[in-house]
Amino acid sequence: MTQKSDWLFRLYLWLFLAYMLLPLVIMGGAAFNDSRFPSVYPWQGFTWTWFIELWNDARLLNAFRNTIFVAVAVVALSVPIGTAAAILLNSVAGVARTALYGMMVAPILIPGAVIGISTLLFWNTVSVAPGLHLSVLGQVSYISAFVMLLVLARLQSFDRSLEEAALDLGASHAQVVRRILLPHLYPALGAGAAIAFFQSIENFNVTLFTRGPYDTLTVYVFSKVRSGITPTINALAVILIAVTIIAIILVELRRRRAERTSIRTAAVTQT
Amino acid sequence: MSDLLRRYGLPLTTLICILVVFWLLVLVILPNLYLFENSFRPYLPVVEMGGPKDVYTLKNYMTFVRSPIHITVFVSTILYSCVVTVICFLIAYPLAYYLAKKVSVRSLPTLFLILTIPLWVSEIMRSFAWFIILSLRGPLNFLLINLDIIERPIRWMTGFRSVIIGLVYTYVLFMLFPVYNAIQSLDTNQIEAAEDLGAPWWRIHWRVVLPHAKPGIASGSVMVFMLSAGSILVPTLLASTNSRWFTEIIQQWMFESLDWNTGSAYAFLLLILCTVFVTVVMKIFRVKLSDIAK
């Protein structure tokens, strides 16, 4: 089974990668096609028009600013909340832990539209008008759960006796947190912040119901799609994909360099 | 609790508790309670709010029960979300197995980075890509005609097939990663032992790999189903007039009729649907919530 079917698996992997990436390539290609309607066929000639039009779109720049603002606010709220939740969860046991865990995970399993509408209704009854601040709160309610899961996983490998040793040696509570607990959690906090940031940028369902009169990038694109599609959307997609790919390449290069140094240090220590 | 106090002192423990209470109570529990409460109130003009007509009623839910169209849309949303979940599993399972058990460990990080590219590109762009591909004079029809597979262009965006295509593309990775994680933790010796004892490949999968992958499959199914049933972007972009999604009706109540009460009743139905699905999956696969949310 192993040798015979291996090429079949490999073929399948390549097909799957093509399936994942080709639609993005086609969409990117349409950004350069000189045609009123976004398509790659028939090819009307190469143009930068859609990028220029995108740059001149004031509403878009505004939506972009709003998106970044919301994303930063979401990171600033959900990372502390998620971390606090993980620490609290780690210190309780039994039924309380199960119940607490269930409540904390539940927001991930609630559809975005429901989160959006419930947030809108709740703050409306206490007379808070819809707007980007509600989008932030709605997004935080489920993004915190992602941070919580990441930090909780990291806490599993935490040696709690370190904290006890520090306390016995006379460290203050703040020192224990700052010098022992937080340094151990840093990787999880970084990953949590990254996930929170990108989840927030991508979010549409919650934002749609809570945004009030304001635009975010996804909502703006959505309204464009409805009102009349032009290839400026594709141009925007090309820019977003390019940023993503550059970030991914940077991460990959750093990983390879780290791998190489670790191999080298291993070789050095052996000799 | 006393453990927290001993380790981090009173101020920090208070801060931790405040943050958690704020999250769970103010951001999660209270809004959902209000959603529930509002769904039982009639839709009234502002002046009549709190007046004699403002009583609890089942009217909003009766609107749903009395509307055959809405029920049909609800049922087809469930049905096609299930179809999407099954297709995602069929596509993802062989690949998850291959990645977990066959691919060399060295190339895995790179492969995963490439696989996550679509995840970083927002959902709206991904469904928009399929909007271009599936259009009547789009690249897919062009390719199929040039390969002599079809003679005239197919109108893809009719009925639910374009929605299914879009949802599968958008959410298949949410099935792939959990299933991969589950299979990866399976001891390869077990597969080899089964091979040595002469089990055919399909029985190895049926008796060894699949049972071990259960938590991953449960987790992936819940995610894919929930995201599909709750998707707004994909159906709006890819559906036609004869294929409506339940979220579109919720949107209609909220934005076109401005009837938030009926809207919240419909949103609550969606919430119940997802809760029921999670419970059923947990029962079928005999897994706990902590297995699902990995």
DSSP chain B: -HHHHHHHHHHHHHHHHHHHHIIIIIIIIHHHHHHHHHTTS----GGGTTSTT----SHHHHHHHT-HHHHHHHHHHHHHHHHHHHHHHHHHHHHHHHHHHTS-GGGHHHHHHHHHHHHHS-HHHHHHHHHHHHSTTSHHHHHHHHTTS-SS----SSTTHHHHHHHHHHHHHHHHHHHHHHHHTS-HHHHHHHHHTT--HHHHIIIIIHHHHHHHHHHHHHHHHHHHHT-SHHHHHH--TT---HHHHHHIIIIIS--HHHHHHHHHHHHHHHHHHHHHHHHHHT--HHHHT-
Minimal C-alpha gap between B212 and chain A (Å): 20
Comparing alpha-carbon positions, the chain A residue that sits nearest to B249 is A113
More confident residue, B236 or A139: A139
Residues A178-192 pLDDT 10s: 888 899 998 899 889
Q: Which of residues 161-220 of A touch B (CB under 8 A)?
A: 163-164, 167, 172-174, 176-177, 198, 201-202, 204-205, 208-209, 217-218
What sign has the CA pseudo-torsion A96, B32, A195, B85?
positive
What is the per-residue pLDDT for A45? 77
Q: Answer whether residue A31 shows pLDDT above 90.
A: no
C-alpha distances out from residue B32 to A23, A252, B36, B183, B227, Å: 38, 42, 6, 36, 19
Q: Please list, in sequence order, all residues whose beta carbon lies within 8 angstroms of the beta carbon of residue B236, skipping any fewer than 6 positions away.
A: A222, A225, A226, B245, B248
A231 shares contact with chain B (CB less than 8 Å): no
What is the per-residue pLDDT for A1? 46
Check CB contact under 8 Å for A119 and B31: yes
What is the per-residue pLDDT for A173? 85
Are A31 and A51 a contacting pair, CB within 8 Å?
A: yes
Q: Please list, in sequence order, all residues whose beta carbon lies within 8 angstroms of the beta carbon of residue B63, skipping any fewer than 6 positions away.
A: B70, B262, B265
Check CB contact under 8 Å for B233 and A13: no
For residue A170, give the DSSP letter. Answer: T
B1 shares contact with chain A (CB less than 8 Å): yes
Q: Which of residues 206-265 of B touch A (CB under 8 A)?
A: 222, 226-227, 229-233, 236-237, 247, 250-251, 254, 260, 263-264
User: What CA–CA distance (Å, rounded) separates B39 from B61?
Assistant: 8
Q: Which of residues 31-70 of A touch B (CB under 8 A)?
A: 38-41
Are B175 and B220 a contacting pair, CB within 8 Å?
A: yes
Confidence of residue A55 (pLDDT cuts 50, 70, 90): confident
What is the per-residue pLDDT for A117? 92
Residues of B with Cβ-Cβ distance to A123 under 8 angstroms? 31
For chain A, list the domains and their CATH numbers.
61-227 (1.10.3720.10)
* Helix intervals (H) in A160-231: 161-168, 173-175, 182-202, 205-210, 217-227
CA-based angle B111:B115:B119, to the nearest 5?
150
Residues of A with Cβ-Cβ distance to B289 under 8 angstroms? 101-102, 105
Residue B108's closest CA among B118, B95, B120, B119? B95
Report the pLDDT averaged over residues A124-139: 91
C-alpha distances out from residue B144 to B93, B134, B135, B139, B154, Å: 28, 12, 13, 9, 9
pTM for the whole thing?
A: 0.88
Confidence of residue B294 (pLDDT cuts 50, 70, 90): low
**What mean pLDDT is reported for chain B?**
87
Q: Answer whether residue B53 shows pLDDT above 70.
A: yes
Residues B116-169 pLDDT 10s: 888 878 888 888 888 888 887 778 888 888 888 887 788 887 778 889 999 999
Are A189 and A177 a contacting pair, CB within 8 Å?
A: no
Q: Answer whether residue B224 shows pLDDT above 90.
A: yes
Check CB contact under 8 Å for A174 and B23: no
A252 shares contact with chain B (CB less than 8 Å): yes
Reading the block at residue A222, the tokens are 């959505």
Report the pLDDT averaged over residues A11-23: 91
More confident residue, A86 or A234: A86
Q: Answer whether residue A231 shows pLDDT above 80.
A: yes
Minimal C-alpha gap between B203 and chain A (Å): 12
Residue B94's closest CA among A6, A243, A104? A6
Residue B124's closest CA among B216, B32, B237, B20? B237
Confidence of residue A251 (pLDDT cuts 50, 70, 90): confident
A21 shares contact with chain B (CB less than 8 Å): yes
Minimal C-alpha gap between A141 and chain B (Å): 5
Residues of A with Cβ-Cβ distance to B169 under 8 angstroms? 19, 23
**Best mean pLDDT range from A45-54, A220-229, B135-144, B177-186:** B177-186
Q: Answer whether residue B216 shows pLDDT above 80.
A: yes
Q: Please list, in sequence order, all residues whose beta carbon lies within 8 angstroms of the beta carbon of residue B226, skipping any fewer than 6 positions away.
A: A109, A111, B274, B277, B278
Residues in a beta bridge with A33:
A46
For chain B, list the domains and their CATH numbers.
67-292 (1.10.3720.10)
Q: Which of residues 124-153 of A touch B (CB under 8 A)?
A: 124-125, 137-138, 140-141, 144-145, 149
Confidence of residue B1 (pLDDT cuts 50, 70, 90): low
A80 shares contact with chain B (CB less than 8 Å): yes
What is the per-residue pLDDT for A269? 66
Side-chain-side CA neighbours of residue B167 (13 Å): 30
Confidence of residue B43 (pLDDT cuts 50, 70, 90): confident
Check CB contact under 8 Å for A177 and B8: yes
Q: Answer whether residue A3 shows pLDDT above 70.
A: no
Side-chain-side CA neighbours of residue A61 (13 Å): 8
Q: Please list, in sequence order, all residues whose beta carbon lies within 8 angstroms of the beta carbon of residue A83, skipping any fewer than 6 positions away.
A: A147, A148, A151, A185, A189, A192
Report the pLDDT averaged over residues B61-90: 92
Residues A146-172 pLDDT 10s: 999 999 999 988 888 888 888 889 888
Comparing alpha-carbon positions, the chain A residue that sits nearest to B171 is A20
**Best mean pLDDT range from A38-47, A199-208, A253-262, B232-241:** A199-208
Q: How many CB pairs under 8 A join A and B?
A: 250
Residues of B with Cβ-Cβ distance to A84 under 8 angstroms? 15-17, 19-20
